[in-house]
């Protein structure tokens, strides 16, 4: 081991492979802590209200569907025709706050949402081929889908034209909404002028709120004092203004931008199941982003661990070759364990200090411990200073990679190319066959006179 370069390289490779075990276990710990945070969010949302989705409103009109069976008997079944509004406007003001469960911060909010718009009174015969005589107009229902109705804390009343109608729990005839509220619409008749509607709902939720663009033209305006919004979903806001004091954003979505129809029935090929999936896919809104959500960054840093350990071992191996030092495999193992422990320190400190400060503290502690250790095994503080510089550069570069996610591949490739080029340059004049080979014993002096 002292003299064979091949054996030393094999030993270093084996140690790197061996270090995969603690690194894998640390990765499992990261996932477990992330699941614990998700469990804390679920625990809070189960009592406060979960992520909210405003879905609709949908006007449902039942009708009689007749057919003749194989025995020639005429059968009748009640089916539903569903209609979406011609205009839909939603204005919401979200009052956020942080709830703490253990060591985790969870963003919750109370939202005041005003929903208004208009319905063109449907003509089932034109477009859906439903005879007007078969339509049961007196059982028409307006349904509004709300993802988590536990967040509704006040009564909700519908203004339909000039009428006041109380909402009832459940999605009514629009069963594809799954959860929500509904109201019976009396006096609906074909040929009536367009009917306006409006209602106000106070809703508690966790993390995010989304809206389905149900109208032929849907406008949405949301505002909040939360300084870190994350706009997501099928549509981004046309106008948004984000400041440390909060945000406001507005969307305007045409029904040409979605894939589901304005009206359909339960006996057509594009029935509720398909329409439900398409409507969910078209939702958009805002999430109250919590900057302390650091588990993704820690998990990404662990993925660079093998490369990080390999580069550090490469530096020590170059010391052995260029400075004629001998570093025992046990020294490599202890240094590798220190590098692995960095990620566990990073995870544990991030839960209390935030990712930035935790990264600084963990990298300084790890680099400091390895530098002090190298002062002895490398026989000099000058060489230990080189190790400290290399570790500082590696930790700094890793932090940059974690922050610049879009350019991580490019920067990583350039760094590896630069490191490989540097190693090739430093070792260009080394005769690898001679390194570590036993030196030939000196030749005995030849006598002056030979007999």
Is 113 a domain residue? yes
Q: What is the largest CA-CA distance in the chain?
A: 137
| In a shared domain, residues 309 and 396 | yes
| In a shared domain, residues 282 and 300 | no
| In a shared domain, residues 103 and 238 | yes
Give tens-digit pLDDT for 287-300: 987 765 677 788 88
β-sheet bridge partners, residue 68: 74
**pLDDT value, residue 377:** 76
Q: Can you give the pTM of this predicted structure?
A: 0.69
Whose CA is closest to 304, among 354, 356, 359, 350?
Answer: 359
**pLDDT value, residue 210:** 94
| In a shared domain, residues 62 and 189 | yes
Is 441 a domain residue? no
The runs of H, that is alpha helices, within 186-304 are: 272-281, 295-303
**pLDDT value, residue 446:** 57
Is 345 a domain residue? yes
| In a shared domain, residues 274 and 387 | no
- For the chain, residues with pLDDT lower than 50 are 269-272
**pLDDT value, residue 269:** 44
**pLDDT value, residue 442:** 58
Q: At which of 288, 309, 337 does a domain end?
A: 288
| In a shared domain, residues 124 and 257 | yes
**pLDDT value, residue 323:** 67
Give the structural domain span for 149. Answer: 51-288
Structure tokens at 12: 């270093």
Q: How many domains does the chain have?
A: 2
| In a shared domain, residues 126 and 57 | yes
Cβ neighbors of 328 (< 8 A, separation 6 or more) are 377
- 84: helix, strand or coil: coil
| In a shared domain, residues 257 and 317 | no
The single-letter DSSP state of residue 135 is B
């Amino acid at each position: 081991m002292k003299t064979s370069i091949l054996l030393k390289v094999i030993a270093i490779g084996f140690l790197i492979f061996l270090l995969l075990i603690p690194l894998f276990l640390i990765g499992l710990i990261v996932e477990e802590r992330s699941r614990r945070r998700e469990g804390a969010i679920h625990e809070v949302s189960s009592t406060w209200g979960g992520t909210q989705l405003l879905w609709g409103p949908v006007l449902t009109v039942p009708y009689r569907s007749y057919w003749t069976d194989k025995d020639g008997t005429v059968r009748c079944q009640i089916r539903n025709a569903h209609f979406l509004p011609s205009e839909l406007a939603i204005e919401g003001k979200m009052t956020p706050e942080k709830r703490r469960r253990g060591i985790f911060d969870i963003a919750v909010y109370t939202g005041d949402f005003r929903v208004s718009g208009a319905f063109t009174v449907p003509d089932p015969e034109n477009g859906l081929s439903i005879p007007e005589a078969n339509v049961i107009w007196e059982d028409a229902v307006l349904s509004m889908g709300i993802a988590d109705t536990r967040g509704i804390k006040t009564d909700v009343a519908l203004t339909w034209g000039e009428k006041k109608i109380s909402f009832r729990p459940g999605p009514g005839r629009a069963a594809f909404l799954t959860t929500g509220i509904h109201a019976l619409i009396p006096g609906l008749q074909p040929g009536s002028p367009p009917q306006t509607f409006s209602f106000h709902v106070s809703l508690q939720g966790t993390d995010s709120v989304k809206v389905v663009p149900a109208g032929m033209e849907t406008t949405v305006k949301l505002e909040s004092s939360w300084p870190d919004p994350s706009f997501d979903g099928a549509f981004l806001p046309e106008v948004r203004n984000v400041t440390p004091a909060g945000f406001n954003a507005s969307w305007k979505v045409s029904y040409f931008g979605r894939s589901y129809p304005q009206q359909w029935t339960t006996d057509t090929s594009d029935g509720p199941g398909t329409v439900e999936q398409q409507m969910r896919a078209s939702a958009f809104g805002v999430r109250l982003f919590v900057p302390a959500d650091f588990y993704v960054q820690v998990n990404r840093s662990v993925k660079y661990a093998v490369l990080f350990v390999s580069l550090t071992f490469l530096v020590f191996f170059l010391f052995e070759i260029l400075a004629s030092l001998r570093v025992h495999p046990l020294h490599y193992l202890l240094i590798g364990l220190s590098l692995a422990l960095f990620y566990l320190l990073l995870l544990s400190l991030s839960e209390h200090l935030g990712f930035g400060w935790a990264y600084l503290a963990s990298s300084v502690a790890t680099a400091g411990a390895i530098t002090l250790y190298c002062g002895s095994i490398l026989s000099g503080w000058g060489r230990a200073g080189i190790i400290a510089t290399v570790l500082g550069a590696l930790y700094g570069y890793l932090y940059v990679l974690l922050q610049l996610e879009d350019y991580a591949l490019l920067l990583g490739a350039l760094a590896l190319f630069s490191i490989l080029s540097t190693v090739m340059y430093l070792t260009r004049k080394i005769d690898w066959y001679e390194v570590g080979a036993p030196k030939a014993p000196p030749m005995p002096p030849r006598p002056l006179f030979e007999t």
